[in-house]
Chains A and B, each alone.
Chain A
């Protein structure tokens, strides 16, 4: 049984190594809704270990604790718990498109498990089904066959409203073409996921994240006033802001020059690692595979382990 520790409150810059004793949960309780967690009060980025308490938490309890700490903005709670659960599971997922007479099999019985905190590179030539896989994983597209389990829930069974909520809570998207809303400023774009999830004052969190992605001082620019690299930074901040467990990035550097692309790629992986989220990164750039824990190859809709990882 492996341990995966996830951290909420990503606004803490110094994240201890995964598995550091003070933050690891006891693994005696594995039940999903009653976890053993360690709560620590954090002041000015210094962890006061003495204040860490171990708690048995039910789902409701967790909620209460989170709220309790949220009300004290000078403090941040760090919550760690054991998780053996995968963030995403694709079980024999197939997706076909019809174009006139022709039927295109974009995904062919794809099988994939993404564990919490894992970084996966999804390689493959153009048209191999990378985007389709990400869309299906994110509930933007329903598969023709197979099941998609996101955060323990089979999302193929959800209706549009439930699906939207699941996306809101668990997933952050980063697209090749940034997909920012042109009518909103950078910071408004970033706070949008929080607003959609019912947060009343998401500005601080959004601004801090923008700061971290290197866009401090440019919060109030509109997308039209930003460079491609800057727009993608905004998009990454937006994907991370709601602390999703899973980031789905579809060729995030595909529309950038290679120098900018490399910087953005570094930033993305670093930020994702910081937050402890899992990342599935579709790209046809084999060098991206080096940053990943695992690399997978898609060819004509079929997934296989990639040799690129060893290179």
Chain B
């Protein structure tokens, strides 16, 4: 019991909090200020780690904001939008009537929203939207009233692709300006479709004839835009990349028949929008969608789905590595403060107060790192968004613009604080539990993990790696058709990565211990360096992780790239498609603009000498919900050239009307051979009998291949986007390609050999791997930072030891060599582990990849990459030692020995 008045010092809780805050401020923050370099490095590490996570956030947010603002701009004053069962021509005249007849609808405007390319002699071709609207209705895109220019459009429509017949079009002055600009490089002939010179003779921009020299790619060929009228209001939409055509013209040019793509609905004044939405839903049927008018086109989700999951994987990995690094920095800085914490404890600081220090430090570093990471994320997001933008533009005409708000930075800071605090928890707990008396009297240094403990940890983590690899294998087996498989595969992949990291952390010090035994009696400095590395397994482990991660990531990424390339080339050379591919644009076949090959092209192709067969490939998208679109594929000469996961490999059965579904679709809808696929068509739901599930990676596996007869029956006759032409025996693909080009069948026709297609497809696939390379470069930096911080911090603690060495005769140069050789040995071991443990990583990624990309690839190990990245990582590690070495060299011996 206390008989002292000092008990009266107990002040209110609030006072206590203020006081602790002050303690924290003067202690914690002063540390940050005193150790500027270390704080800076921690912020850099966190920034690097969070930037990838932030880039995912920024990209996702930018896509959604861009698409929504685009959708809203087009919608004008309409409140609701009806989307058909397919984005192209999914709405019939009949349906439009049904919509108009719905109670509460004031007006309903059917539009064609075609995505195509506008080109001119002087400028690079631009993807634009061709919006077909009818003047008898109120217009979307916020145009007030029907522009007189459009009203006067003649009803006489071009009957064939011919230069003489031009549509009346409204274009943005900005677009005109851009297309009239004289490109510095002259006309880019090799570029997609710029070599169309047929039908144009106008001098660009001459005598007020807007649109002179500009051509629009359509399903009926290149259509000149001579005579187009300017409309200033269009400047605001995607920088003027929108052309308005009379509805009938658009239907004609883009093979829509009498159908439309979407209907914008304006409600009666005072009508309840949700109620109207419900009424419309029952009026149009479940295979059509009724959504708020600003909803982005569902196709835009395809682009994000192709890239964001991969990016997310990378982001999670990067954040994990950042957390490890910050953990290292925080625990090292605490190591330095063990004594100080003991003093605080002796003065009566509660364990929680002592814990608050590192936690607050972690939080502050985290917040700063998160803000840096937001800026970094913005830098990374830019190229990713522009890649996505090319996708979304070809899919829906909408570009992705980077959207950054203050909230982005707040989110970044929050993620950073989370990571920073997470990393500080264990060091903080350790600090709070440390023995005070022993610390004050310099006893009680914790004993290092024994080699035995390290070995058992290494063994356990390697066994875990094996188990996780098995999990990956089970997760992808037979196309991962079971709904539990992707989850197993993904979690197994993460476990693989984590166990490999743990293995690195325990094997690296073991290597040092082993090497020290071997080096006994060898060169003193090397032995000393090895002893230092062996003595602190935790630190050695963290540095090794950092080095190994950068090497391993390069190895995994490059190998995966090779696998994809091998997979693509196998699929292109197999199945008898050893020929040339003909299309209107040189993009990959699954994402095309609206300009398809006119019917006469196929007939003329067949007549080119040396052509054996011409296989026209038709694709359409079915569905109206973002993320649930299905690509329907058909070809005039179907082949069963892909691996079958389940079902029958019978072409005869297929030709009788059965269909083959892609793995992701099968998984999502739990489909199997013998069942039926319900698919949305303009006439309602169709039920297609399933023949099997096969490894078709189109639309990341969300696809169905149907006989051409089924395609025509359900969706009407379709124009092909690509025709695969097979040569007669004795004619090489290259010769055939030359002959087709020489035949001048169609302006702007792209003729590509299989190897050219492969190159294109590979470059697209490589583009999707770009985030991995970004991660890799970030990791090199991280390795540098990790080695630098560790050696610097360890250096402070080791001053006494260095001084002792100096006192017994180690020269300053010797000290430098000691520090550098430590880093070099570490770099070597880390890189070796990165390679060794990269193998399981390569295998794991290759196993789970089909779930992300829709098809599986042969396993490849790109050892050549190692020739670059192993030396690079070692160099990073050695470079990082320069500053610590310099510090060691300048050490004041007397002071260090005297130093209390």
Contacts and interface: CB of A to CB of B under 8 A. Distances in A.
A169 B19 contact: no
Given A135-B437, A169-B348, A197 B7 contact: no
Interface string A148-171: 000111000000110011111111
Contacts of B30: 183-184
Interface stretch (A61-69, A264-272, A289-297): A61-69
A200 B18 CA distance: 7
A199 B19 contact: yes
Interface stretch (B21-29, B588-596, B722-730): B21-29
Interface stretch (B209-217, B350-358, B545-553): B350-358
B900 A177 contact: yes
A283 interface: no
17 contacts: A81-B3, A85-B1, A140-B440, A151-B1, A153-B2, A164-B348, A166-B348, A169-B9, A183-B34, A192-B23, A195-B20, A196-B344, A197-B9, A199-B9, A199-B11, A242-B348, A244-B6
A180 B22 CA distance: 18
A238 B344 CA distance: 12
B73 to A, nearest CB: 57
Given A195-B19, A198-B19, A244-B6, A183 B27 contact: yes
A160 B346 contact: no
A80 B804 CA distance: 55
Contacts of B348: 164-169, 171, 193, 196-197, 242
A67 B27 CA distance: 28
B26 A62 contact: no
Contacts of A6: 4
A87 to B, nearest CB: 9
Interface in A19-38: 32-33, 35
Contacts of A79: 5
State the 8 A-B residue pairs at the shortest beta-carbon distance, nearest first.
Answer: A168-B348, A152-B1, A66-B8, A198-B16, A167-B348, A135-B437, A164-B350, A140-B437
A213 interface: no
B161 interface: no
B9 A184 contact: no
Interface of B: 1-12, 15-16, 18-20, 22-23, 26-27, 30-31, 34, 339-340, 343-353, 432, 435-437, 440-441, 900
B437 A141 contact: yes
Contact of A62 (B7, B31, B347): B7
Contact of B3 (A152, A179, A198): A152
Contact of A195 (B6, B22, B435): B22
A160 B355 CA distance: 13
Interface string A33-46: 10100000000000
A297 to B, nearest CB: 21
Nearest to A202: B19
B172 to A, nearest CB: 63
A81 B19 CA distance: 30
Among B4, B31, B340, B345, the most chain A Cβ lie within 10 Å of the Cβ of: B4
Contact of A243 (B6, B16, B19): B6
Given A32-B1, A177-B900, A184-B27, A63 B7 contact: yes
Given A140-B440, A184-B27, A198-B12, 6 more contacts: A85-B3, A140-B436, A153-B2, A183-B27, A184-B30, A196-B19
B5 A66 contact: yes
A38 B880 CA distance: 68
Contact of A169 (B7, B23, B345, B353): B7
Interface residues of A, number: 58
Among B6, B16, B26, B353, the most chain A Cβ lie within 10 Å of the Cβ of: B6
A165 B350 contact: yes
A138 interface: yes
Contacts of B343: 179-181
Nearest to B9: A197
Nearest to B443: A97
A195 B22 CA distance: 7
Contact of A179 (B8, B23, B440): B440
Among B5, B15, B31, B432, the most chain A Cβ lie within 10 Å of the Cβ of: B5
A168 B347 contact: yes
Contact of B10 (A63, A153, A181, A200): A63
A106 to B, nearest CB: 10
Contacts of A83: 3
A282 interface: no
A141 B2 CA distance: 21
Contact of A238 (B12, B22, B347): B347
A123 to B, nearest CB: 19
Contact of A198 (B15, B345, B351): B15
A8 interface: yes
A152 B2 contact: yes
A140 B1 contact: no
A178 B440 CA distance: 10
Given A164-B348, A196-B349, A62 B1 contact: no
Contacts of A153: 1-2
B347 A161 contact: no
A167 to B, nearest CB: 4
Contact of B6 (A67, A170, A175, A181): A170
A216 to B, nearest CB: 22
B20 to A, nearest CB: 8
Contacts of B10: 63, 198
A188 B26 CA distance: 9
A181 to B, nearest CB: 6
A214 B594 CA distance: 89
A168 B20 CA distance: 14
B892 to A, nearest CB: 13
B25 to A, nearest CB: 10
Among A32, A184, A197, the most chain B Cβ lie within 10 Å of the Cβ of: A197
A263 interface: no
A177 B900 CA distance: 7
A131 interface: yes
A138 B346 contact: yes
A59 interface: yes
Contacts of B9: 66, 169, 197-199, 242-243
B732 to A, nearest CB: 77
B23 A196 contact: yes
A275 B26 CA distance: 28
Contacts of B353: 164, 196
B340 A8 contact: no
A245 interface: yes
Contacts of B344: 181, 192, 196
Contact of B27 (A138, A181, A243): A181
Given A32-B1, A62-B5, A161 B11 contact: no
Contacts of B26: 184, 188, 195
A135 to B, nearest CB: 4
Among A65, A153, A167, the most chain B Cβ lie within 10 Å of the Cβ of: A167
Contacts of A170: 2, 4, 6
A242 B348 CA distance: 11
Contacts of B352: 161
A71 to B, nearest CB: 12
A171 B19 CA distance: 20
B347 A192 contact: yes
Nearest to B435: A141
A141 B349 CA distance: 15
Nearest to A35: B3
B6 A8 contact: yes
B257 to A, nearest CB: 79
Interface in A241-273: 242-245
A153 B8 CA distance: 17
A85 B3 CA distance: 8
Contacts of B432: 160
A184 B8 CA distance: 27
Among B9, B16, B18, B22, the most chain A Cβ lie within 10 Å of the Cβ of: B9
Contacts of A192: 23, 344, 347
Nearest to B442: A177
Contacts of A245: 4, 6
